[in-house]
Chain A
Amino acid sequence: MAGVSRRGFLAGAAAAAAAATLGAPRVHAQKKGGTIRFIPHADLKVLDPVATTAYITRNHSYFIYDTLFGTDADLAIKPQMVAKYASSNKGLKWSFTLRDGLKFHDGAAVTAEDAVESLKRWAKKDPLGRLLAAHMAKIAPSDRKTFTLELSQPFGLVLDALGKPSSNVPFIMPARIAAASADEPIKETIGSGPFKFVKDEWQPGNQVVYVKNPDYVPRQEKPSGSTGGKVVNVDRVVWRYIPDHATANAALDAGEVDWWENPPLDFVPKIEANAALTTFVTDPRGTQGWIRPNHKHPPFNNKKARQALLYIVDQPKYLKAAIGVEKYYKPCPALFTCGGPFESAAGAPGKPDLDRARQLVKESGYDGRPVVVLDPSDIALTHGAALVTRELLSQIGFNVDLQAMDWSSVVARRAKKEPPQQGGWNMLFTWWIASDVINPAVHAGISGAGDGAWFGWPESGRIEELKVQWARATDRAKQKQLAEEIQKVAYDEVMYVPFGQWVLPTAHRKAVSGVLQFPAPLFWNVSIA
């Protein structure tokens, strides 16, 4: 069995953070049967976990698919569908053997070929998958239950890739389905996970139904995150999509639903005051907010103009405007998140300094052209951040053109590389869950690939070089040092400006128990009285 030394470090750091904030995962004596009625954060529209990065599709996929490896509550990667694995030749050759008894929902046994085809399809879309594929010489089944993966050069993230917890997750599906092009959404939803999807009862915009998979063979270990025994205690889970928050709150209050994934924070005090309800933070590392300048066009194609942004952001002010409830947010300078294994303040600016920011704007040679700021006014947290930013940008001498629009319009607009006067943009606001920014390999915002980078398109050869070094490093101290170096360069280049970190509680009836800590809501181990 291969030693995964870096994991020990990850586990230690994260365990300390988690233990300090939230206590142990909820494993308990289980009650059997029943239906859980759940309000998801969004409507399930797309069923293919490779075709989209949407969290709602990821959450749906955790019901019906299984993964080769999982991530536990302390960020340790542990085998899930894999019974045993080994690496040889200095980590250049890996072998994975599947557990006994794994079956797809159509009754077919899960084979090594299914795993190989699923990984190939996933690696065409996911950034970490692409990185793995770029280091890979060969992946092929060696027998019905075993496959081997050969690397062409050292790559320190093989298990991190296979156990990636958030979008896109390398879920395993039958080879005949996974053989489809990654650009074509799959037509069938057959997994080997602990629940089955009831497609006939799926009504987009209204409900999604899952039933217990009686053929699922759970691992024997205690559940933690997406690792351990996925023991299903309920017969059925019904997602009811209720877009109106007041209605969702009333439904939870009246006992018509059992669990509300993401109540807005202004509803939380009312929920906490209800003796029948409780709240719980399922993802203690939470979410990070970003101000992303567009590096492609003036004024933020100038480093000094971008650096001015570092000196205007006072995270507590932003967090108060965007989140509001102090106990759920905290200022955090770490680009790889506070509470993560690569937490660091390296390169972060000191206190806000508007005079310094004004000076930098002058030095940048800003010519007074309008700065187009995209304001997704239908999303409270980014809308709040946009309003605060508009005011601060005006104070340091920028001529701000704040353009309010819905999130869908922002999503379309942000992809436009044209100058702002021709439909492009200068600044946008977004947020990412910690799992998606926790290290340099998964962090979309820290890329210097120019046109190939995430929207905003920064160019930095140094960042790209350091990221490759990081991915190839197998020594944890070296990785930590490289991550700090990457963060320093990212701050110097102002890839983006973080405006803080926050957690969102989930709310459920006290009759529901066994909810696990994880970035996605998981329904194994959960029971209802």
Chain B
Amino acid sequence: MFPEILRRLVATIPVMGVVAIAVFALLHVTPGDPAVIIAGDYATSEDIAKIRAKLGLDQPFLTQVGIWLGRIVRGDLGTSIYSGLPVATLIGQRAEATIALTLFAMVISVSVAVPLGVLAAWKKGSLVDRAVMVFAVSGFSMPTFWLGFVLVYIFAVSFHWLPVQGFSPIERGFWPFLRHLILPAVTLSLVYMALIARMTRASMLGVLNEDYIRTAFAKGLAPRWVLVRHALKNASLPIVTIIGIGFALLIGGAVVTESVFALPGLGRLTVDAIIRRDYPVIQGVILVVSGVYVLINLVVDLLYVVLDPRIKY
């Protein structure tokens, strides 16, 4: 399997290259000019031209791509046009909040959604099944920003149990870290809970009709044992796939949640950079995030082998 991992890792390089060039091209056809924004209200055309030259924006497109790719190869993501801080530093400042939020939201999603999906499949057609499906449909339908504000109103503004906004790094203590993450993680996780619960139910329903499950019940095994050891294990491939996709979507979905809860994460960094056309920051963040997506896909593919020994690469 190690050669396969290596091959897949090497294969990510062209994928990342295509992503990098596509992002670069898209940004440069988007209206907006950082030189004009930086130059301000009293700038002359000459002032703007000087800034454009300094930023290298006066170079032909392919030259700009070449310079940027050359830096990337050397591990330099560039420098923010506005703050002058290295993009790697900005990403480093923001990564903890996004990673913590994403992981926490995924833990909540999986630990709630998988049991609910299993239960709904086992009790197919019952009140429990319908309740789970109502929950799933509601989860899909509820806008994240709306749910966020409702939770803030109830738990932060009315009861003062949890903070409205912000992030406390883990080095300042686990409880403050957790308190700041509970509301955003619950908000973010709801839609993925719904997604995973529906997928778990559908996948379990397919497996529960198999002969070996009927045999297991006929042998007198406890239902819990049959559901978890026999059915869920065999139904897990689509569930793992959807969790992998959900993980990738969570990073994107974090943009809204980070804005609502003023979490200093990568999503807000990206949005702020887009608003100001801070090209190096946008390019750097998207490159890093696309790398994470590729790695998540790789991990999901490797998990297939662990879960189903019949799969070989």
B152 within 8 A of A: yes
| Partner-binding segment picked from B127-135, B153-161, B238-246 | B153-161
Q: A183-B47, A205-B269, A244-B260 are in contact. Are A408 and B275 (CB under 8 A)?
A: yes
* Residue of B with least CB distance to A44: B83
A30 within 8 A of B: no
Residues of chain A contacted by B93 (CB below 8 angstroms):
203, 206
Task: List which A188-212 residues lie within 8 A (CB) of chain B.
Answer: 203-207
Known: A52-B38, A53-B42. 10 other contacts (CB 8 A): A51-B38, A53-B41, A206-B94, A240-B165, A247-B164, A250-B152, A405-B31, A408-B276, A408-B277, A452-B44
User: Across the interface, do B157 and A250 meet the contact criterion of CB distance under 8 Å?
Assistant: yes
User: Across the interface, do A247 and B165 meet the contact criterion of CB distance under 8 Å?
Assistant: yes
Interface residues of A, dominant DSSP: loop
| Complex-state Cα separation, A47 to B54, whole angstroms | 18
B290 within 8 A of A: no
B280 within 8 A of A: no
> What per-residue 1/0 map shows which CB atoms of A400-420 lie under 8 Å from chain B?
000001111101110101000
B189 within 8 A of A: no
B85 within 8 A of A: yes
* Residue of A with least CB distance to B262: A242
| Complex-state Cα separation, A246 to B256, whole angstroms | 13
Task: Select B157's contact among A183, A243, A253, A406, beta carbons within 8 Å.
Answer: A253
User: Across the interface, do A125 and B42 meet the contact criterion of CB distance under 8 Å?
Assistant: yes
User: Across the interface, do B152 and A187 meet the contact criterion of CB distance under 8 Å?
Assistant: no
User: Across the interface, do B48 and A205 meet the contact criterion of CB distance under 8 Å?
Assistant: no
B-to-A contact residues, CB < 8 Å: 31-33, 36-38, 40-42, 44-45, 47-48, 50-51, 54, 80, 82-85, 90, 93-94, 149, 152-153, 156-157, 160, 163-166, 259-262, 264, 268-269, 272, 275-278
Residues of chain A contacted by B40 (CB below 8 angstroms):
52-54, 167
* Residue of A with least CB distance to B46: A183
| Complex-state Cα separation, A413 to B30, whole angstroms | 12
Residues of chain B contacted by A324 (CB below 8 angstroms):
none
Residues of chain B contacted by A254 (CB below 8 angstroms):
156-157, 160, 163-164
Task: Select B264's contact among A184, A205, A412, beta carbons within 8 Å.
Answer: A205
Shortest Cβ-Cβ A-B pairs, 3 listed: A206-B264, A45-B82, A53-B40
A127 within 8 A of B: yes
Q: A240-B262, A251-B262 are in contact. Are A413 and B31 (CB under 8 A)?
A: yes
Q: Can you name 9 A-B pairs with beta carbons within 8 Å?
A: A127-B42, A185-B84, A243-B259, A247-B152, A248-B262, A254-B160, A408-B275, A417-B45, A451-B45
| Complex-state Cα separation, A54 to B39, whole angstroms | 10
Task: Select B272's contact among A43, A52, A167, A244, beta carbons within 8 Å.
Answer: A43
Q: A205-B268, A254-B164 are in contact. Are A409 and B31 (CB under 8 A)?
A: yes
Task: Select B165's contact among A54, A125, A250, beta carbons within 8 Å.
Answer: A250
Q: A45-B83, A246-B149 are in contact. Are A256 and B276 (CB under 8 A)?
A: no
User: Across the interface, do B84 and A411 meet the contact criterion of CB distance under 8 Å?
Assistant: no
User: Across the interface, do A46 and B164 meet the contact criterion of CB distance under 8 Å?
Assistant: no
| Complex-state Cα separation, A52 to B278, whole angstroms | 15
| Complex-state Cα separation, A203 to B269, whole angstroms | 10
A187 CB to nearest B CB, Å: 7
A126 within 8 A of B: yes
Q: A204-B80, A244-B259 are in contact. Are A126 and B165 (CB under 8 A)?
A: no
Task: Select A415's contact among B36, B262, B272, beta carbons within 8 Å.
Answer: B36
| Complex-state Cα separation, A248 to B94, whole angstroms | 20
| Complex-state Cα separation, A451 to B45, whole angstroms | 9
Q: A183-B54, A204-B85 are in contact. Are A408 and B260 (CB under 8 A)?
A: no
| Complex-state Cα separation, A244 to B164, whole angstroms | 12
* Residue of A with least CB distance to B80: A204
Task: Select A250's contact among B153, B269, B275, beta carbons within 8 Å.
Answer: B153
User: Across the interface, do B165 and A251 meet the contact criterion of CB distance under 8 Å?
Assistant: yes
User: Across the interface, do A46 and B38 meet the contact criterion of CB distance under 8 Å?
Assistant: yes
Task: List which A428-481 residues lie within 8 A (CB) of chain B.
Answer: 444, 451-452, 454
User: Across the interface, do B160 and A204 meet the contact criterion of CB distance under 8 Å?
Assistant: no
Task: Select A205's contact among B36, B41, B272, beta carbons within 8 Å.
Answer: B272
* Residue of A with least CB distance to B38: A52
Residues of chain A contacted by B165 (CB below 8 angstroms):
240, 242, 247, 250-251, 256
Q: A405-B31, A412-B31, A412-B36 are in contact. Are A247 and B260 (CB under 8 A)?
A: yes
| Complex-state Cα separation, A452 to B47, whole angstroms | 12
| Complex-state Cα separation, A452 to B50, whole angstroms | 16
B152 CB to nearest A CB, Å: 5
